[in-house]
Amino acid sequence: MNALKKAGNSVNTFAKKWAEFVIKFKWPVLLLTILLALGLASQGKMEFDGDYHVFFSESNPELEAFDALQEKYTKDDNIVIVLAPDNGEIFTKENLVAIEELTASAWNTPYSSRVDAVTNFQHTSAVGDDLYVDDLSYESATKTDAEIMEIKAKALKEPLLLHRIINEKGSVTAINVTVRLPGVDSAAEIPEVTVATRKMVDEFKEKHPQFKVYTTGLVPLNTAFFEASQSDLALIGIMLLIVVAVTFLLTRNFFATLSTLVVVLFSIMSAVGFIGLTGIKLTPPSAVFPTMILTLAVADSIHILVTMLQKARKDGMDKKEALIESMRLNFMPVFITSLTTVIGFLTMNFGDVPPFWHLGNITAFGMAMAFLYSTTTLPALMAIFPLWKKKGAIKKEEKIGMYTKLGLFVIRQPARLAVISLVVIGGLTYLATLNVFNDEFVEYFDDSVQFRRDSDFINDNLTGFYNVEFSVGSGESGGINNPEYLQKLNAFEDWLNDQSEVVHVNAFSEVARRVNRSMHGDDQTYYRVPDNREEAAQFLLLYELSLPFGLDLNNQINVDKSETRVTATLKNISSAEMIAFSARAEEWLGNNTDEPMHSIGVSPTMMFSKLGFRQADSMFNGNIVALILISLVLMLALRNFKLGLLSIIPNVTPVLVGFGIWALYKGQINTGMVIVFGMTLGIIVDDTVHFMSKFLRARRELGYDAKQAVIYAFETVGRALVTTTVVLLSGFAVLSTSSFALNSYMARITVIIITAALIIDFLLLPALLILSSRKEEEIEVIPNQLKPELKLDK
Q: How far apart are CA 41 and CA 266, in angstroms?
A: 9
Cβ contacts of 325 within 8 Å, gap of 6 or more: 307, 308, 311, 317
Cβ proximity to other proteins: between 443 and 552 the closer is: 552
What strands, in cross-sheet order, belong to the sheet with 77-85?
112-116, 173-179, 77-85, 211-216
Of these, 10, 87, 448, 477, which contacts other proteins (CB under 8 A)?
A: 477
- Contacting residue, 109, 173, 307, 463, with other proteins by CB under 8 A: 109
Residue 154 within binding range of other proteins, rule CB under 8 A: no
Residue with Cβ nearer other proteins (528 or 533): 533
Is 42 a binding residue for other proteins by CB under 8 A? The answer is no
Report the distance separating Cα 714 and Cα 405, nearest Å: 9
Minimum gap (Å) between residue 95 Cβ and other proteins: 22
CA distance 469 to 463: 16
Question: Closest Cα to residue 517, out of 526, 509, 508?
Answer: 526
Single out the residue of 459, 461, 487, 546 in contact with other proteins (rule: CB under 8 A). 546
Residue 219 to residue 725: CA distance in whole angstroms:
40
Q: Compute the least distance from the CB of residue 111 to other proteins, in Å.
A: 7
| Interface residue with other proteins, options 16, 561, 584, 639 (CB under 8 A) | 561
Q: How far is the CB of 555 from other proteins (least distance, A)?
A: 10
- In 322-480 the beta strands, taken as DSSP E runs, fall at 436-437, 466-473
Between residues 261 and 542, which has the closer beta carbon with respect to other proteins? 542
The minimum distance between CB 202 and other proteins, in angstroms, equals 18
| Closest distance to other proteins from the beta carbon of 516 (Å) | 11
Q: Is 183 left (phi over 0), alpha (psi -120 to 50) or beta?
A: left
SS3 466: strand
Q: Cα–Cα distance between 656 and 635 in angstroms, integer?
A: 23
Told to check if 44 binds other proteins by CB under 8 A, we report no
Among 89, 192, 446, 560, binds other proteins (CB under 8 A): 560
Please count the helices (runs of H) and the strands (runs of E) in the chain. Answer: 28, 11
Minimal CA–CA distance to 620: which of 551, 554, 677, 696?
677
Considering only 14, 21, 27, 132, the residue that binds other proteins (CB under 8 A) is 132
Q: Total binding residues for other proteins by CB under 8 A?
A: 48
**572-591 footprint of other proteins as x/- string (CB under 8 A):** --------------------
Output the smallest distance, CB 120 to other proteins, in A. 11
261 and 244 in contact (C-beta within 8 Å)?
yes
Instruction: Give the separation between CA 375 and CA 15, rounded to whole angstroms.
Output: 9
Q: Considering Cα of 506, then 509, then 513, then 519, what sign does the dihedral take? A: positive
CB of 145 to other proteins, least distance (A): 24
Amino acid identity of 487? Q
Q: Using the rule CB under 8 A, is 231 a contact of other proteins?
A: no
The residues, any chain, with a CB within 8 Å of residue 203's CB and separated by 6 or more, are 105
Q: Which range touches other proteins (CB under 8 A), out of 158-166, 221-229, 340-348, 557-565?
A: 557-565
Residue 147 CA to residue 522 CA, distance in Å, equals 18
The total of other beta-carbon atoms located within 10 Å of residue 35's CB is 10
| Nearest-5° Cα angle at 760, 754 to 764 | 170
Residue 167 CA, chain-centre distance (Å), reads 34
Partners of 174 in beta bridges: 82
Q: Which of residues 132 and 665 has its CB atom nearest to other proteins in the complex?
A: 132
Q: Interface with other proteins includes 534 (CB under 8 A)?
A: yes
List binders of other proteins among 169-188 (CB under 8 A).
180
Q: Is 131 in the site for other proteins (CB under 8 A)?
A: yes
Q: Does residue 519 belong to the site contacting other proteins (CB under 8 A)?
A: yes
Q: Which of 258, 551, 624, 771 binds other proteins (CB under 8 A)?
A: 551
471 pairs with which residues across the strands?
Answer: 565
- Least distance between other proteins and beta carbon 530 (Å): 9
The answer to whether 293 and 264 have CB atoms below 8 angstroms apart is: yes
Closest approach, Cβ 478 to other proteins, in A, equals: 5
Rounded distance, CA 754 to CA 721, Å?
A: 11
Q: Does 140 bind other proteins (CB under 8 A)?
A: no
Instruction: Give the interface segment with other proteins, choosing from 342-350, 552-560, 564-572, 574-582 (CB under 8 A).
Output: 552-560
Is 205 a binding residue for other proteins by CB under 8 A? The answer is no
* Bridge partners for 567 per DSSP: 469, 506
Runs of H (alpha helix) within 73-144: 93-106
The alpha carbon of residue 771 and the mean position of all alpha carbons in its chain are separated, in whole angstroms, by 41
Q: Kindly state the DSSP code that residue 388 receives in the 8-state scheme.
A: P
Which of 560/705 has CB closer to other proteins? 560
Q: Exactly one of 541, 632, 645, 779 binds other proteins (CB under 8 A); which one?
A: 541
- Calpha distance 735→528 (Å, rounded): 56
Applying CB under 8 A, which of residues 13, 108, 413, 448 lies at the interface with other proteins? 108
Residue 160 CB, nearest approach to other proteins (Å): 17
Per rule CB under 8 A, is residue 550 in the interface with other proteins? yes
Q: Which is nearer to other proteins, 489 or 717 (CB)?
A: 489
Q: Which of 39, 61, 110, 521 binds other proteins (CB under 8 A)?
A: 110
Residue span binding other proteins (CB under 8 A) among the ranges 66-74, 283-291, 347-355, 380-388: 66-74
The answer to the question of residue 72 lying near other proteins (CB under 8 A) is yes
Nearest-approach distance from CB 546 to other proteins, in angstroms: 5
**Nearest of 627, 653, 677, 663 to residue 760 by alpha carbon:** 653
Query: Could you tell me the smallest distance in angstroms from the CB atom of residue 339 to other proteins?
Result: 48
* Among 32, 47, 101, 107, interactor with other proteins by CB under 8 A: 107
Q: Which is nearer to other proteins, 314 or 533 (CB)?
A: 533
547 binds other proteins (CB under 8 A): yes
**What type of residue is 248?**
F
- With CB under 8 A as the contact rule, which of the stretches 255-263, 379-387, 445-453, 541-549 interacts with other proteins? 541-549
Residues in touch with other proteins (CB under 8 A): 71-72, 74, 107-113, 122, 129-134, 180, 477-478, 481, 519, 532-539, 541-542, 544-554, 557-561
